[in-house]
Chain A
Amino acid sequence: MATEILMPALSPTMEEGTLAKWLVKEGDTVQAGDILAEIETDKATMEFEAVDEGVIGKILIPEGTEGVKVNTAIALIGDAGEDMSAAPTAAAPAPIAPVAEAAPAAPVAAAPAAPVADHSPDWPEGTPMKTQTVREALRDAMAEEMRGNDNVFLMGEEVGEYQGAYKISQGLLDEFGAKRVIDTPITEHGFAGIAVGAAFGGLNPIVEFMTFNFAMQAIDQIINSAAKTLYMSGGQMGCPIVFRGPNGAAARVGAQHSQDYAAWYAHIPGLKVVQPYTAADAKGLLKQAIRDANPVIFLENEILYGKTFEVPDLPDFTIPFGKAKIARAGDDVTLVSFGIGMTYAMEAADRLAAEGISAEVIDLRTLRPLDYGTVLASVQKTNRCVTIEEGFPVASIGNHISAYLMQNAFDYLDAPVINCTGKDVPMPYAANLEKLALVTTDEVVAAVKSVTYR
């Protein structure tokens, strides 16, 4: 029986085309793969091949015809000797995929339907505490998780014999050996990809970037391979991996070594993003990150490594993702920050208290998932908000929080939200300019005075 040859779609965007030239005539016998016609698409002139063998019965659309819609019958093909002159012209149209109805909009995949603030304590009351640096807390987190799970390993530049470029992995090579504490060549793109592959293979890699500035070399593997594969595989292929290392400005190292990537990674569905401030959070969140079944970006800060905090003296504790901490309670204004930004937020709160302004300081701790509930509840109480981060101002975390508050707490706001950020310039080297390029406590204080109209 004769079948229709339909005008093909020869590019992802083609809706119609010109049947430029027939290369066969009625009565010709063709094999699969023979060129039937030349068709001009929206992009180029393409050769159109036969998909089946047969005899060309009737040419329905003459060459030179413009604007032939995709799926229009252009010729008939059938068996030798078959009479196709009377073939049905109203053959069943090609099945076209039904068009799905527009999906309901949901602005942020991870956003809970009704954000709830969780203010439960991170560890039981009365837990004995010890003093530790952030550096020691991070090392202990890795060591504890490596003791508990043989599939956890650490790889990166200078993590082994050198004991860590910033001494985070001190002692790990001695305890776990070279199989699990792996020095890599200086090839971020390559070893990040190898680690992602190892995670696809069922291991739990921790990748240390000497700094997140160098992760730019590897960002394709982080985003296109690690973050998207679970979705692209329909849930089959997860990627349990932690990418960690110092992020943001250190001191006097210039533009290429001084960038805060918080907003970059927080932009990506499929990643979880953590940026701790205290040693206790660094430990509890890193342990949580290593146990998580998803790719986690764990942003540390070189200046915070040597800072000491009280850490719970517990054999095992973790801090859940998506739970912000009220670092200081207050009534007049909400300061929202994370990571080293907390340094400015806490200093500002002290100075403001001396002037009679009571600031509530929220440490977000994780940027994805983000604890909208805690921010919202605080702003509904204080009616004012200032965000603080070291990153660039355009498309910053502060911008996102401002937009969220405008949509969800518009009637509660007594002043516009102000974002205190790093300046919109590459980081300069000169000491005075570098100081000016970063966010300052003075700026936070001034912003608070502005939103409180003092």
Chain B
Amino acid sequence: MAAKRSTPAAGGKTNAKSNVSPDELKKFYREMLLIRRFEEKAGQLYGMGLIGGFCHLYIGQEAVVVGLEAAASEGDKRITSYRDHGHMLACGMDAKGVMAELTGRIGGYSKGKGGSMHMFSKEKHFYGGHGIVGAQVPLGAGLAFSDKYRGNDRVTFTYFGDGAANQGQVYETYNMAELWSLPVIFVIENNQYAMGTSVQRSTKSPSLWERGAAYGIEGEEVDGMDVLAVKDAGQRAVAHCRAGNGPYILEVKTYRYRGHSMSDPAKYRTREEVQEMREKRDAIEHVRQLLLTGGHASEEDLKAIDKEIKDIVNEAAEFSKESPEPPLDELWTDIYADA
């Protein structure tokens, strides 16, 4: 089976596509901005010592989850790695609950017992938040297995990075997912650096989506700085899976502006490289320009959205400081479910 490849528009500048209305464009702007401002605030709280441990920010990659959530339907599932704050906000989880988990408080999604890398919401079909690189890939295929077993048409978005793409369990999973026609979309968020190791320094086969062809899995490369292109590709992937054609791979080319985690000195890339992406390819600025030049929104409209987002994030930060630490008896709960 030949894998196919979508062609990103010249220069990566995609025009507003017919599949997106002005309202939806505004929604994308709002959702991407929420993730960015949330993450900036998380970085700030980390600097103040309110968030501990590892904290992996999603700044720069916002278009990936926002575009793919636009292609999802109610009941679809999603699972990802430890760089998970953006995924949670994009699927509708409450910013307060996410931030309070980051500060380790009882108001967090895991009652403060999971932290940045381990959060879940059954209600929003968000299955984590997993701290072991690549482990979420078979888990995601297993979620898809449960839907196929039940005979419904749900799909599971299984996100992983370019680093995880070299894990053996990913290929074990590709093999079984295609063998059993599991409705799983493998989303490779290729931000070009696995911690500090670039794709070029990790593999001689840098086109990650094409590896699926060895297992008969179709896929494509997507411009991950263009939320419209991401939604468009997401819709193709969802249609493929829902129709019972088995898995699909999206390699979404994106870029993380911040370090791998908060303690990353970023010596493996130049400041100029980061600055160039921010200035020329920023996903939020792209949508902002589409809204303004298309006459869909005024500067004032966007300022109002900015203000609204700032309020949500400030409220989340306040909640995350005021929510108490978990009571001490929480140490001993949730180890076993009632048999």
A-to-B contact residues, CB < 8 Å: 6, 8-12, 14, 32-33, 35, 41, 43-49, 51, 70-71, 94-98, 100-101, 103-104, 106, 109-110, 153, 179, 184-185, 187, 189-203, 220-221, 224-225, 229-238, 240, 269-270, 272, 291-294, 321
Contact = CB atoms under 8 A, between A and B. Distances in A.
Interface residues of B, number: 75
Which of B130, B132, B334 has the most chain A CB atoms inside 10 A of its CB?
B334
A365 B132 CA distance: 32
Contacts of A70: 49
Contact of A201 (B145, B263, B336): B145
A-B pairs, top 6 by smallest CB distance, nearest first, are A197-B142, A193-B138, A190-B172, A201-B146, A8-B47, A11-B263
A195 B149 CA distance: 12
Given A189-B168, A237-B127, A197 B138 contact: yes
B176 interface: yes
A40 to B, nearest CB: 10
A10 B141 contact: no
B49 A71 contact: yes
Contact of B140 (A94, A197, A230, A272): A197
B111 A190 contact: no
Interface in B133-191: 135, 137-147, 149, 168-169, 172-173, 175-176, 179
A236 B172 contact: no
A231 B333 CA distance: 8
A321 B338 CA distance: 13
A79 to B, nearest CB: 16
Nearest to B127: A200
A235 B111 contact: yes
B52 A12 contact: yes
A153 B339 contact: no
A201 B121 contact: no
Interface in B318-339: 321, 325, 328, 331-339
B255 to A, nearest CB: 14
Given A35-B271, A71-B49, A194-B145, 18 more contacts: A46-B265, A47-B271, A51-B41, A94-B50, A100-B328, A189-B168, A192-B138, A193-B139, A193-B169, A194-B139, A194-B142, A197-B127, A197-B140, A201-B143, A233-B110, A234-B112, A234-B120, A236-B109
A193 B52 contact: no
Nearest to A101: B328
B213 interface: no
A109 B335 contact: yes
B156 to A, nearest CB: 8
Contacts of B266: 47
A450 to B, nearest CB: 38
Nearest to B338: A293
A190 B173 contact: yes
Contacts of A11: 262-263
Contacts of B244: none
A185 B173 CA distance: 10
B173 A198 contact: no
The secondary structure that dominates the A interface is loop
Interface in B102-122: 103-104, 108-114, 118-122
A6 B47 contact: yes
Given A103-B331, A197-B145, A221 B138 contact: yes
Nearest to B55: A12
Given A201-B146, A221-B135, A187 B176 contact: yes
B10 interface: no
B131 interface: yes
A342 B334 CA distance: 33
A97 B179 contact: no
A101 B47 CA distance: 24
B43 interface: yes
27 contacts: A9-B48, A44-B263, A51-B47, A70-B49, A94-B50, A97-B325, A100-B328, A103-B328, A185-B175, A185-B179, A187-B172, A189-B138, A189-B169, A190-B138, A190-B169, A194-B142, A197-B79, A197-B146, A203-B146, A220-B132, A230-B334, A230-B335, A232-B128, A233-B114, A234-B114, A235-B111, A293-B338
Contacts of B264: 46
Contacts of B103: 97
Nearest to B140: A197
B263 A41 contact: yes
A47 B110 CA distance: 32
Given A46-B263, A237-B120, A94 B48 contact: yes
Contacts of A184: 176
A153 B175 CA distance: 20
A231 B335 contact: yes
B332 A231 contact: no
A410 B43 CA distance: 53
Which of B53, B128, B139, B267 has the most chain A CB atoms inside 10 A of its CB?
B139
B165 to A, nearest CB: 15
A201 B122 CA distance: 10
Contacts of B263: 10-12, 14, 41, 43-44, 46
Nearest to A205: B142
Given A10-B262, A221-B135, A190 B46 contact: no
A445 B125 CA distance: 57
A201 B147 contact: yes
Given A11-B263, A95-B321, A203-B146, A220 B337 contact: no
Contacts of B333: 235
A103 B332 CA distance: 10
Which of B46, B122, B175, B339 has the most chain A CB atoms inside 10 A of its CB?
B339
Nearest to B137: A193
A191 B50 CA distance: 39
B140 A234 contact: no
A240 B52 CA distance: 31
B148 to A, nearest CB: 9
Interface in B37-65: 40-41, 43-44, 46-50, 52-54
A200 B53 contact: no
B5 to A, nearest CB: 26
B77 interface: yes
A189 B147 CA distance: 21
A12 B335 CA distance: 26
Which of A6, A33, A192, A238 has the most chain B CB atoms inside 10 A of its CB?
A33
Contacts of A41: 263
Interface in B248-291: 257, 262-267, 271, 278
B121 A9 contact: no
A197 B141 contact: yes
Contacts of A198: 142-143, 145-146, 149
